Structure 1
Amino acid sequence: MTTIRTAAVIGSGVMGSAIAAHLANVGIRCLLLDMVPDSLSPEEEKAGVTLQHPNVRNRLAANAIAKLKTTNPAPLYSEAFAQRITPGNLDDHFGRLAEVDWIIEAVVENAAVKQALLQRIETVWKPGTVVSSNTSGISINAMAAGCGPELRKHVLGTHFFNPPRYMKLLEIIPGRDTDPAIVASMVRFGEKTLGKGVVVAKDTPNFIANRIGTYGLLVTLQEMAAKGYTVEEVDAVTGPAMGRPKSATFRTLDLVGLDTFVHVAQNVYDNVTGEAERAAFEVPELLRGMVARGWIGEKKGQGFYKKIKGPGGSEIQALNLATMEYAPSRKVSGAAIEAAKAAKGAGEKLKALLAAGDRYSELAWNVLKRVLVYSAERLGDIAESIADIDNAMKWGFNWEFGPFETWDLIGVARSVQRMENEGLTVPAWVKEWLAAGNGTFYRRAEGAIFYASGGSFAAQETRPERISLKALKEQGKVVKTNPGASLIDIGDGVVCLEFHSPNNAIGSDILAMIQQSVDEVRRNWRGMVIAGEGRHFCVGANLMLMLMEAQDEEWDTIDFMIRQFQSSMMLLKSLEKPVVAAPHSMTLGGGVEACLPADRIVFSAETYFGLVETGVGLIPAGGGCKEMALRQSKLLAGVPDADLQPLMNKVFETIAMAKTSTSGHDAARLGYMREADSVVVNPDFRVYEAKRQVLDMDAAGYVKPAEEKFRVVGDTGKAVLQMAAYTMKRGGYISDHDFLIASKLAHVLSGGDVPEGTLVTEQYMLDLEREAFLSLCGEPKTQQRMQHMLATGKPLRN
């Protein structure tokens, strides 16, 4: 297997620098090279330096690295990771390419430029080094044609989707001479180290995702022009109603840039031979005209949409294609759209959209049928398997279902019949597949997924690191379940506790399952993982229920709910078997408190982790305050005279300001990550890694640490925290109610009205949490905050 510890990226533009950032994210030291500037910047002229100064010669790469720290969304998991990228230039540092394990070119999308660069790379290339191109559609074979046979074995395409940190898809494109062992190794490296969903594409124009995605968008434009749909109507149909992102068609075009899209479409038009396919990729005059006007999307402030800022706020306007003038964007409604909105789940939404029978159903069907047929036509040309095509569209374009999964969903035989009735030619292999008695392109059996391949079903390749809770449940591996959570056997004597209530909010069902799971694991299992496969891990406790009880002044009920939450977290913490939490995405409030009692936390790289209760006028009361105070005390264990106050000041600021990590790695900055905690980059590997750590602890003879009293800062520390809050209030940064919440938080975190250095129990701290929480629930302004959050999803400042 190819070992990659160091890399070089050539080209420090948007993609090149973002690829370098993601390499730095996963611990790979990277050299970033660009051209030597031919003139001084105004700042350099003022400083009196010359073109020969190293800072001037490395300016393009250095500026790109600096920009990574301010770009939004952030390309880096942590700003500190920028130190892993070294700036350089193509004149002075080209020879250093011989020192790295992987060279990635990310220069301008021009075949001649890329070909010349590869030939220059060959002059310093170290045998064994992988060389790849981050091209979105230029032929790898043509690019490497002028290179020697040994280098060609090591050349391939690695097409990252933008932005590389966040987009799951990585297309790997071998050339005809690429060593298959290197391809296999890079696939594995892409999955395990880079955290990507990898598909292997053929060396054809635009590869897989951009080929089908561009075709689908052009088909949509053709249908729009033929039937007179508006920009808003098309986006209302081609977004979530069809299992596509909210950006739908035209917001996506504006984000990508119409100039970029035209270039991508033109690449297919110029490089395919079939007349029908060439015609499908002919760029409409509408797009060319908009590009000529400079209306290319968000980067120029207008495209199919334009944001107008006024005294009353911003207004989104949409382009009227008949007049080429902008007008306020209007909401679209119709039977099909309303039916899709009412349906539950992406699959049901699509079926409802297609079944309604109005002009919006017609738009959806006329676009969908052509995309499905085109995808089937391109099988074997752009990819070897339907699974690679489906995954490319899901991971690269954020479709809920790939083309062949969609076909299964709507009924293959029925839809093929309708397509043929409407004059569409369906590929022969699809009709042969149906004639052989197959009703779907995929089937599940014994926990494995099989897909149509060469006239029969082939097993989809699985990785042992990919543990699917959904598949395990289908195999009957559920040990216990209720409407809010399930306990699932994930093998080797380990179970996984999965939350699956709406938004994975913690309510009585989840708490009951935690209590049952602790008892079950204590008697029958080696340990437990806490993880899920929902959109988010857990967004906190059931706020709606809490608000209803507060408005009804059911204080005993709220007290019972908090006690139940606290006792459940303490049961997790006191379990005599190892527990590892594996959060992902939004992990907020009570979700954090469900992780903190675990022996270890395996964060997904994309975990947004924080105790955010102050945003709804409350404080953490499920053990969050107690755990954070306990952790600070433990950091100074054995040093009784050490000053605990600075650590508590930071915790107070983090919780009072509802700070949330911007990544799994960033949780360390906020004090949520311990030395034994870790981060996994590929979210599909989270459960496996958490299970592995459970087994490691069990094999090492796990012994639950005994509960001990811990030191608090007491009344003097509380005064320090409250003074900080008072200063914020006097400065106008926080409201009176914010100050009240902060004062309650300070009281809890400091350990209440006890002398500095007092040793307290965990239960004592839990009681403080509960008392403060209850008192805040009775505050009208807190209830207003809770109501506003439930209604808008945004915090209220009152």
Structure 2
Amino acid sequence: MSFKPLRIRKAAVLGAGVMGAQIAAHLTNADVETVLFDLPAKEGDKSGIAQKAIANLAKLSPTPLADKSRQAAIVPANYDEHLDLLRGCDLVIEAIAERMDWKLDLYKKIAPYLPENAVVASNTSGLSINALAEALPESLRPRFTGVHFFNPPRYMHLVELIPNRSTDSEILAGLEAFLTTTVGKGVVYAKDTPNFIGNRIGVFSILATMHHTQQFGLGFDAVDALTGPAIGRPKSATYRTADVVGLDTMAHVIKTMADTLPEDPWHRYFQAPAWLSALIQKGALGQKTGAGVFRKVGKDIVVLDLARQDYRAADQAASEEVAGILAIKDPSEKFAKLRASADPQAQFLWAVFRDLFHYTAFHLADIADTARDVDFAIRWGYGWQLGPFETWQAAGWQQVAHWIAEDIAAGKAMSNAPLPAWVLDGRKGVHGKDGSFSASQNKALPRSSHPVYQRQHFPDPILGEQFEQGTTVFENDGLRLWHLGDDVGIVSFKTKMNTVNDFVLDGLQQAVDEAERRFKGLVLWQSKEPFSAGADLKGAMGLLKEGKLAAFDAMIANFQATSMRLKYSLVPVVAAIRGMAFGGGCEFQMHCARTVAALESYIGLVEAGVGLLPAGGGLKEIAVRCARQNPADPFNAIKGMFETVAMGKVSGSALEAKEMGLLRANDTVVFNTHEVLWVAKREAAALADTGYRPPMPARQVPVCGDVGTASLKMMLVNMLEGRFISPHDFEIGARIADTLCGGVVERGSLVDEQWLLDLERKHFVELAQMPKTQERIVHTLTTGKPLRN
């Protein structure tokens, strides 16, 4: 398949509501110049509504902005004064309220200002794209499509593309590439049916859950305990999700289904339960009003109890029997036990799954091209680990299909609509080696052949999909060195959370040796997030407890030697990061020739939280970089980095990591997490092709000396006196300051890298022997949370 790239320099977002403002923020994250429009304000500056929405972005959590400075780049506008600005836009996304009449009026107003090459899209969550297209001049319809982002748009991977009858396929292909690479999304094509795929299936699942909650007499908190991580779904489960989305929004989406799907065999369930309407009437709309199904009272969470007509402590959980069933690894055994159990919670779960499977299979032909599109829409838009078809197939397709058919015949299912014939044709499922089943075409269809997906060596797999795992060069208990048939080696860790232990350290040094012999470059990439949670604290504590100080010191020295081997490798080493890169993981990427980081990378030197300081060369590298920035006086640069390290700050994105100095200005940020490996390999090869040489050893690093340390300690004294930090925090901070400033030497003294490494290691080993540090380490290992002692 060939496609013409869609060049988008400038975009406009129409509608500065919650979604519009956040879409504008995410386009700005991606360096797309963006104008945010709204109605003219009745008083003051006419662009006041858009200005207020832009100002409000900084208050939202999670933050839509990948770094705060980007807020100023969004241009506020209004429809009275600024329609001319549309003439310079390549992409216009309409994101106003879900009212067909309002949208049609707006389209008529903007049509004369739209350039003939502009792509126009609606972010509607369920209105007909073909009906909207009719409001545009005929010449614009080939460039018009639905482009439905999920909330919050920066973090939810899904974007649904919904063409109208006349949409140009070349425009769609260009937009798909732009959304995938530039904006970092997973694109699913949906047919123009109400609520498209994600909300059609997702909202039905919520409605089925609400129906069965009542049917089986369960508490809202019990249902959330059953429908969250216990079945591979987000922590917010069902009713907390409704609170977060807004109960009024939930009711509106349900009403849209009722109004637009009169022929749906499940239509009688498309209504808000009485308790939901009652909460809305009271103004209890969920999180945004402070009360909904759940409410916070002081530090406690209370939940609405329908029998009492009041709130009570939210303490109901999965029953012992059901918790036991859900812990079963084999899905077919799990489903058989749920269906056979007399426990109301088990019957509830079986009923919710049965009706979801029934509904999804019944509607597959009308709403989506393939079963893969449905599963991805639900996984990427709702955060489920497996989509409905994957769940069903994993549990044993035919067995579950026959149970559903039995329940339909017995009148137990929510609808008596028959299962489609293909469900019971003896198949083992809908996903297989030939692709995923298309009910409308009655055959399996492979993945898209769009060239943008060649940038994903390992796309998000659908159930049963196997990707070529590459050729192994060597592996030990800590890592594997492998390649994909070309001249760039790849190193992947095998430890839990990709932590760093002796096997990883020795393996990395061996990997660099091998790379220098047989590859032009080397990439550090993990097949699963995180990049690395840092050093293996458990192993380190073991050495300390046994009093093996010499072995402990040698382990830290080996850590430093590994970082230095990465830095001075004769072939470029590129770190490919996504997710967390903490402690030693952050230090490794600091020593690589280049880092390629997914936008959603959370990077930090967090050792202070466990009573230690970075000693894998991280503080040494900061001192060297600060000295390079300003050799005459590195103190100002050191001061900013000192705060970052002493407070264990973690970046909220890769862009923020650049602002913090944990990534370099020339490091690359990639928006689609599945493209990180491809880009990193290209970077390594490009560096090699330009005649890469490692940096010259830093033998004369000007440091701030004891004067610098004293200045940093003054900051710590003030924080200690103000009780912002504990005496042990002071101890750690003072040692971080001493290392960054080069120890007890005169200001302006010249030291080498080994001097700084020795300082790091000395302080690390001394801190590690202190009881308060050991308390912190043990607390973190047992609870996963930091201890401030």
Q: Distance in 1 between matches of 2:599 and 2:497?
A: 20
Return the offset for 1:340.
Answer: 5.9
Aligned position for 1:113:
102
Q: Distance in 2 between matches of 1:351 and 1:578?
A: 50
Decide whether the 8 Å contact of 1:604 with 1:680 is kept in 2: yes
Q: Please show how residues 573-722 of structure 1 align to structure 2 within 5 Å.
A: 573-636=567-630, 642-709=632-699, 710-722=701-713
Q: Please show how residues 485-564 of structure 1 align to structure 2 within 5 Å.
A: 485-564=479-558
Q: Distance in 1 between matches of 2:568 and 2:114?
A: 57
Q: Distance in 2 between matches of 1:348 and 1:480?
A: 37
Counterpart among 186, 198, 201 of residue 197 in structure 1: 186
- Give the letter aligned to residue 366 of structure 2: D
1:217 counterpart = 2:202: no
Counterpart among 753, 761, 764 of residue 770 in structure 1: 761
Aligned position for 2:165:
176
Return the offset for 1:473.
Answer: 6.9
Decide whether the 8 Å contact of 1:5 with 1:29 is kept in 2: yes
Give deviations 1:208-266, integer Å, cap 9, x for gaps: 10000110111111111111111122111111121111111111111111111111111
Aligned position for 1:256:
245
- Give the letter aligned to residue 734 of structure 2: S
Give the 3 Å change call, closer, same or farther, for CA 550–348 of structure 1 in structure 2. Answer: farther
Q: Please show how residues 139-154 of structure 1 align to structure 2 within 5 Å.
A: 139-154=128-143
Counterpart among 259, 269, 289 of residue 300 in structure 1: 289
- Give the letter aligned to residue 587 of structure 2: E
Moved more, 486-495 or 196-205: 486-495
Q: Please show how residues 262-273 of structure 1 align to structure 2 within 5 Å.
A: 262-273=251-262
Aligned position for 2:752:
761
Give the 3 Å change call, closer, same or farther, for CA 479–420 of structure 1 in structure 2. Answer: farther
Q: Distance in 2 between matches of 1:477 and 1:585?
A: 25
- Give the letter aligned to residue 693 of structure 2: V
Q: Distance in 1 between matches of 2:301 and 2:606?
A: 31
- Give the letter aligned to residue 133 of structure 2: A
Aligned position for 1:45:
none
- Give the letter aligned to residue 5 of structure 1: R
Return the offset for 1:794.
Answer: 2.5
Q: Please show how residues 157-556 of structure 1 align to structure 2 within 5 Å.
A: 157-309=146-298, 314-339=299-324, 342=327, 354=338, 357=341, 358-423=343-408, 427-431=419-423, 434-435=425-426, 438-444=427-433, 454-461=441-448, 463-468=453-458, 475=469, 477-556=471-550
Q: Please show how residues 55-66 of structure 1 align to structure 2 within 5 Å.
A: 56-66=45-55
Decide whether the 8 Å contact of 2:158 with 2:380 is kept in 1: yes
Q: Distance in 2 between matches of 1:679 and 1:498?
A: 20
Moved more, 577-586 or 65-74: 65-74
Aligned position for 2:780:
789
Moved more, 107-116 or 648-657: 648-657
Return the offset for 1:159.
Answer: 1.0
Return the offset for 1:757.
Answer: 2.7
- Give the letter aligned to residue 445 of structure 2: A
Q: What SS does the corresponding residue of 1:95 show, helix, strand or coil? A: helix
Q: What SS does the corresponding residue of 1:582 show, helix, strand or coil? A: strand
Return the offset for 1:90.
Answer: 0.9
- Give the letter aligned to residue 696 of structure 1: A
Q: What SS does the corresponding residue of 1:31 show, helix, strand or coil? A: strand
- Give the letter aligned to residue 427 of structure 1: L
Q: Distance in 1 between matches of 2:753 and 2:432?
A: 51
Return the offset for 1:108.
Answer: 1.4
Aligned position for 1:24:
28
Aligned position for 1:10:
14
Counterpart among 565, 575, 596 of residue 571 in structure 1: 565
Give the 3 Å change call, closer, same or farther, for CA 526–426 of structure 1 in structure 2. Answer: farther
Give the 3 Å change call, closer, same or farther, for CA 451–546 of structure 1 in structure 2. Answer: farther
Q: Distance in 2 between matches of 1:134 and 1:421?
A: 40
Give deviations 1:174-223, integer Å, cap 9, x for gaps: 11122222122111111011111111111111111000011011111111
CA RMSD for the aligned pairs?
2.2
- Give the letter aligned to residue 643 of structure 1: D
Moved more, 646-655 or 253-262: 646-655
Return the offset for 1:722.
Answer: 2.3
Moved more, 727-736 or 114-123: 727-736
Decide whether the 8 Å contact of 1:242 with 1:353 is kept in 2: no
Aligned position for 2:716:
725
Q: Distance in 2 between matches of 1:476 and 1:752?
A: 47
Decide whether the 8 Å contact of 1:335 with 1:356 is kept in 2: no
Gaps of 5+ in 1: 41-50
1:36 counterpart = 2:40: yes
Give the 3 Å change call, closer, same or farther, for CA 11–378 of structure 1 in structure 2. Answer: same
Q: Distance in 1 between matches of 2:7 and 2:467?
A: 36
Decide whether the 8 Å contact of 1:9 with 1:30 is kept in 2: yes
Decide whether the 8 Å contact of 1:224 with 1:230 is kept in 2: yes
Moved more, 474-483 or 195-204: 474-483
Return the offset for 1:739.
Answer: 1.2
Decide whether the 8 Å contact of 2:624 with 2:698 is kept in 1: no
Q: Matched residues, percent identical?
A: 38
Decide whether the 8 Å contact of 2:335 with 2:350 is kept in 1: no
Q: Distance in 1 between matches of 2:729 and 2:567?
A: 31
Aligned position for 2:81:
92
Return the offset for 1:581.
Answer: 0.4
Give the 3 Å change call, closer, same or farther, for CA 30–216 of structure 1 in structure 2. Answer: same
Moved more, 480-489 or 581-590: 480-489
Return the offset for 1:520.
Answer: 2.0
Moved more, 579-588 or 390-399: 579-588
Give the 3 Å change call, closer, same or farther, for CA 361–511 of structure 1 in structure 2. Answer: farther
- Give the letter aligned to residue 374 of structure 2: I
Aligned position for 1:47:
none
Give the 3 Å change call, closer, same or farther, for CA 500–158 of structure 1 in structure 2. Answer: same
Q: TM-score, normalised by structure 2?
A: 0.93
Q: For this pair of structures, how many residues does the alignment match? A: 768
Give deviations 1:403-449, integer Å, cap 9, x for gaps: 121122111111112212222666334336x43xx42322348xxx6
Decide whether the 8 Å contact of 1:472 with 1:490 is kept in 2: no
Q: What SS does the corresponding residue of 2:187 show, helix, strand or coil? A: strand
Moved more, 213-222 or 148-157: 148-157
Q: Distance in 1 between matches of 2:499 and 2:590?
A: 16
- Give the letter aligned to residue 480 of structure 1: F
Decide whether the 8 Å contact of 1:353 with 1:364 is kept in 2: no
Q: Distance in 2 between matches of 1:630 and 1:350?
A: 56
Return the offset for 1:678.
Answer: 1.3
- Give the letter aligned to residue 430 of structure 1: W
Give the 3 Å change call, closer, same or farther, for CA 379–275 of structure 1 in structure 2. Answer: closer
Q: Distance in 2 between matches of 1:250 and 1:276?
A: 25
Moved more, 391-400 or 489-498: 489-498
- Give the letter aligned to residue 460 of structure 1: R
Give the 3 Å change call, closer, same or farther, for CA 337–695 of structure 1 in structure 2. Answer: farther
Aligned position for 1:129:
118
Return the offset for 1:344.
Answer: 6.7
